[in-house]
Structure 1
Amino acid sequence: MLQVPFIRENKDNVIKQLAVRNIDATKMIEDVISLDEERKQTQTLLDNALAESNTLSKEIGNLYKSGKADEANALKEKTTELKETTKTLNDKLSQTVDALNELLYKIPNVPHSSVPKGSTEDDNEVVFSEGTIPTLDKNALPHWELAKKYDIIDFELGNKITGAGFPVYKGKGARLQRALIAYFLDKNTEAGYTEYQLPLLVNEASGFGTGQLPDKEGQMYHVTEDNLYLIPTSEVPGTNIFRDVILEESQLPIGITGYTPCFRREAGSYGAHVRGLNRLHQFDKVEILRVEHPNRSYEALDEMVEHVKTILKELKLPYRILRLCGGDVGFTSALTFDFEVFSTAQERWLEISSVSNFETFQANRLKLRFKNSEGKNELAHTLNGSSLALPRVLAGILENYQTKDGIEIPEVLIPYTGFKIID
């Protein structure tokens, strides 16, 4: 959530940068400033009324002590009027604050100056690519056919048990999935991230804290009776560890990692691009999160990008990195880099990771602060990245490593799988 003082001081630039997202935010920004002005005026009137009421109360007490009961009773009538006034002002202040916050919740983060203008994923900028796309046999299969051929993922069984988008991993498929999780976690902890095992359901406050609510409410599974939400990513419970926390500057930076299943309704998703593992309602992901000093959060973002690159180099998968355009960058993000692996059998790029800097946007919602060198509380910066999302990594391995004899296992994963080939 953007801070009102920031909006006031940077009104024109905020409107200009939000236009990079293809949003005309002029009215919203003007309404924020107007509501904030109304809030301040109402607060001033309320403070004055309370001060006058306190003064009168003391005066009434002194008049009673002096035996001037008639004068005291006359003043009591005025205090009764002031009580009504303060109640009215309190109600108005509460309504104004609620209206202001409701509007602020709808305004996305201001994109970083490097974010290109654009409307769709076609306008994203390729900033890096690495790896050789293998030449496959003319009879090469997409991963959903390979999964069936080698009996390692059963999409029909998942559909029977739950519904489309809930696959069942079997045998070497399940072991490869487990190997990837362990490998990702080991890489992350070796890089200094502390491993956490996190809840799979969160409360409403956690959803608002990281920006999933109200923006993506329709994409989250909602347990209505308990008003809890299944997590769309471990970013939500992980970042909410620090909700309402004031850190010492010496505690920064903080890095955590965690594996969780993730749940997304993916309403409206259909077509060939969602076949197999391309888009699921339940999937596994290993996440990395950072809480950083504002002065070095973009340096931290570069470090996270480099970290994900090392993993993909070791897996020897052809990949590229995109800087997301304004129309594709997430609601809470100031700058996002997407990693995509090339699916050779499908002849298309598959997103496997997003690494983002949210600056103070989440921290303001979370009230996540640190005490700076001057002893003042300051909002921290939050960052997160997939390290990595498993389904499309697995799809990339199955398709790119297929041979006439079976699916070879990337060398770095063999100590985790205990086998070299799926045949």
Structure 2
Amino acid sequence: MRLFRPRTAAEGGLADGRPHPLLTVVAVLIAVANLVDTGNLLMNGWFSLDDPRYALMGVCSLAGTACLVVATPFIGRTPYRAAHVVCGIWLVMCCVPASLFTSSWTLMLNVLLAIAVTAHGNVLAGQIAFDLCVLTPLVTGSIADVVHPDYLMVVLCAFIMVCLNAVMAVIVAASALRRRERDQWERDQRLRRDQVVHQLHDDVANRLSYVLLRFQRDERDDRDGRDGGRPDRDQEMVQDVRDALDSTRRAVHVLSGNEGADAAGPGVGDPADPSGASGGSVCDETSWGALRALVTAESARLERIGCNGTVVMPQSVPTGLGRADLTMAASFLKECFANIAKHADPERGYALGVSGRAEGIVVSLADTPKRAGAHGADRDRPAEGASTGRGLAYYRDFAERRGGSLTIEEDAGNWSMTALFPC
């Protein structure tokens, strides 16, 4: 049960399988004390095998002492498991109270060390171990008429221990709840950081890929004697390179642990910016219009490298998307346009549809690859030296983790994809 689970090394507990010098020294000294005191008892005529009344008691006592002497030093290497074994041996010895109460008093040191180590790993488990190791010998000893305690005091002690156990259970449960909340928060932070860094990486890769493709397009135009508007082209590509460099700066900023509210930057974040959609925003006409502006801008960029296509997208917010988060949808659309530029045959064009329903944003894309196998699994890898991001695999995992889907089909040289990003 998680309630009794000892702390791990990462949580400040003792690591198993690694020697702990202080624990090892203490455990070995206690084991030596067990052997020395038991030897003194034997030398002083502790029991005689000639007397059958005491032979069994002595053999059981010696066997229990030997087990404790062997198990205790292991506390120095596997603290929690060895401590549990020591407590278990003590409880077994309690089943023969006559031998337990005539054994060496130093065996109590073994048990106290085991209880302390158990409590270090889990306070509630340590408290219960203390209760059992103290009350069990009193109960079995009273039944066997070996000890004669004040029964009222025993009952009062048991009641106090039960109350302490209840208090400790509440404390441990509250601590476990806080630990789970902290772990969940850390996982969310790591996921958010990874998401931002991946988006920034895609932004850099896709911008530089576009610059390369634009250079290749203009090189062909120059050979054919066509001037494609060189000043405007150069200004656009310079701006793309600057934005890519800015994204690398933000990526380093995030990786260094200094992520701010604008860490994602304009390439990924603000819905009011035509290049992105806001994380956590309400899907209103403004943010939907920003998404349309992104699609328009990206399709215009494709036209400038000679790739024309058809885009279908509602003018107004689709019904059921009143509280949709467009962040990942915007990033995914940018990845789709980057994939079209790198893999689609510009002579055949492409068709892109963006719609919405109650479940989320639906994106459909169809085109004809430049070469066989350029889509599908190969779409996650560079094409002809072009710089690429993570491809579609990341977005498929993202959608599936949230109950969405991303399916790809390729038949007779035609490639199609349908994705659902939950709201």
Provide TM-score, normalisation by structure 2: 0.29
Say which structure is richer in strand.
Answer: 1
Say which structure is richer in helix.
Answer: 2
Provide TM-score, normalisation by structure 1: 0.29
